[in-house]
Amino acid sequence: MAGLKDVPARLTGKVAVVTGASKGIGAAIAVRLAAEGAAVAVNHSSDRPDSKQAADRVIESIRSSGGVARAVRADVTDASRIALFEETVRLLGPPDVLVNNAGIYSFTPVENLSEEEARRHFDTNVLGPVLLTQAALRYFPCRGGTVINIGSIWGQSGTPRTCAYSASKAAVEALTRVLAAELGPRGIRVNCVAPGFTETEGTHALGLPGTRLHDRLLTDTPLGRGGHPEDIVPVVAFLASDEAAWITGETIRCSGGLR
């Protein structure tokens, strides 16, 4: 990421857990938080060699810039999420920041949406953040902590063919508001960052570039281009920092004006 030598060291002394951090927006978040001084647990969910190699590339990028990071494998939808925090504490210390970034998305007409696919969206995108936040409460310091959920503008947009994804991301915004109200008295802030259309490995894997949908998304974005992970991460870093100490329960849209 360009310009990281010039970012403020707002997170020095903090430990951050970033889920789904081996690629895309999650990887960029991990790199940015480390550049601002946090020690980062880079979570990946699979035992596949390519998943571990992708996480290792993120670790190498962080370390080559003088940052501190360790890779931790855990599936956000099962009991290994506890090991995610236990391993983070062992390797880096108790976490101050949890970024619930891990998520899935697909584009399917509602009549073709299987029950299995719908459940997979809610298990990963909604239940994962609920259970990870629940687990983090055992490890946050007594002074509090910070939870940042990665939502999507599709949680509000009503875009066709995104039934499961949009519903799950709308739930993430509701979850953010509820947890902010519930955990605020314990000094824990909870916010949501909602990207618009963002160019990542995932969008290329879906074959979006060059399609009519891709062209329409660019046309409908007032700033005239798709987003990049580097457009999202400064907002996440700000919310993780003490500069955002008076902000909780909010959803901040990073979409180039796309709604």
Catalytic (active-site) positions: 165
Positive/negative CA dihedral, 259, 124, 190, 199: negative
Cα distances from 36 to residues 26, 190, 223, in angstroms, run 15, 20, 27
Q: How far apart, in whole angstroms, are the C-alpha atoms of residue 39 and residue 18?
A: 11
Would you call 28 helix, strand, or coil by DSSP?
helix
Amino acid at 135: A
Strands of the sheet with 188-195, listed across from one edge: 68-73, 39-44, 15-18, 97-100, 145-150, 188-195, 251-254
Q: Which two three-digit tokens encode residue 154?
A: 């599709």
List the one residue out of 21, 171, 126 whose CA is nearest residue 84: 21
Would you call 158 helix, strand, or coil by DSSP?
coil
Positive/negative CA dihedral, 253, 198, 9, 81: positive
Q: How far apart, in whole angstroms, are the C-alpha atoms of residue 30 and residue 17?
A: 8
Contact 201, 23 (CB under 8 A): yes
Helix count (H) and strand count (E) of the chain?
Answer: 10, 7
Tell me which residue has tokens 């949501």: 192
